[in-house]
Amino acid sequence: MQRAIACAAMAPGRSTITNPSWCADSLAAMRVATALGARVERFDDRVVVVGGLFPEPAGPGPIVASCGESGLCLRMFSSIASLSPVEVELRGEGSLAGRPVGMVREPLVALGVECSTNGGLPPVRVRGPLLPGRVVVDGGESSQFLTGLVMALPMTGGDSVVIAERLASRGYVDLTLDVMRAFGARAGRDDGYRRFSIGGKPYEAADYDVEGDWSGAAFLLVAGAIRGESGLDVVGLRTRSSQPDRAIVDALALAGARLEELPDGYRVRSGPLRAFSFDATDCPDLFPPLVALASRCEGVTSLRGADRLRVKESDRSTALSEEFGRLGLRVVVDGDQMFVYGLGAEAGSGGPRGGAVSSRGDHRIAMAAAVAALAASGPVIVEGAECVAKSWPDFFEALSSIGARA
């Protein structure tokens, strides 16, 4: 949804985005697009964006826009805002104020932009215009800035090449390229995920249907695996999606869940689940639902990629270990590995019990605790549960619709 808003904002003319998300992160992207000069109109079932960026500033200061708590919004729009000869300041709120954004500076400066941060933290200030060229980006920490840079470069009027080093979460860049092409851009990759070629062809207005969110669906699929005795259909999904979190299907299969592919999603049934080993390096947002899944698996589950969890909305490796610990589950982090001790893994381990956990202001920790509660021995209280609005405001309504008492 955020990528579609950004492309539509850069495309002259009227674009219609259907199947919209109204989560806080999507609203932040609409807010920034509006601040940069696009016109965004919201309807019940669609968003209409009239593209066109960078009006004359209202005063002598910079254009100021808040990205809320969305890391993607801030890192993505840093490059898009750099197209402007007027200074733009992008601010972060809540947990985003402490998340790193220093990776945006060096590549933008190399392409002619004045750029500064607050010691590597928000706010980000940029003044363009961004120029076409060849630039190297370190994607080891996040692919989100690369996404924004690749999205902005078609508007520079010339061809560009971006060399990506240590790129993480590669599937998200494929998703970016898919959305860009839907709005008429010329962009592709070769040499695996190392070299990205972007043509200097502007965006075109388009009608775009946002695909369902695999990151949210992962929680319901896990719910079906641990409590869906009669089967749970999770639909509204593109089963061949570029979204990395589609890998939840692979993890569920490894755990022994009974899965049936549907035309627009999956049917999942619960059954005996076994411990599994899974590399979530390129899909780190799956760690919370994977821990909820592993809590009902027989044995010790091993998850790789824990190093990527420390600079999310919370330090998720610590949050998962400590908060699931309050539910009687042993979660141990050892370097890049996370071990979840499930059923029968040690004396007295019978899965999660009731108790109170803190979301730590992290939407995915709140969702994971709620899903684990479906198979807990007592009620679970999730404190700070309203943070689910960041990505899925109706999460608890969805959980109630499948039989949970929330």
Q: How far apart are CA 271 and CA 256, in angstroms?
A: 8
Q: In angstroms, how far is CA 258 from the centroid of its own chain?
A: 27
3-state secondary structure of 219: helix
Query: What would the 3-class secondary structure string for 5-56 be?
Result: HHHHHHCCEEEEEECCCCCHHHHHHHHHHHHCCCEEEECCCEEEEEECCCCC
Taking each helix axis from N to C terminus, what angle separates 214-227 and 248-255, rounded to the nearest 10 degrees?
Answer: 20
Is residue 208 within 8 A of residue 225, CB to CB? The reply is no
What residues have CB less than 8 Å from 278, skipping those under 6 apart? 250, 251, 254, 290, 301, 302, 303, 304
Active centre residues (catalytic): 285
Four-point Cα dihedral 197, 191, 143, 250, nearest 10: 130
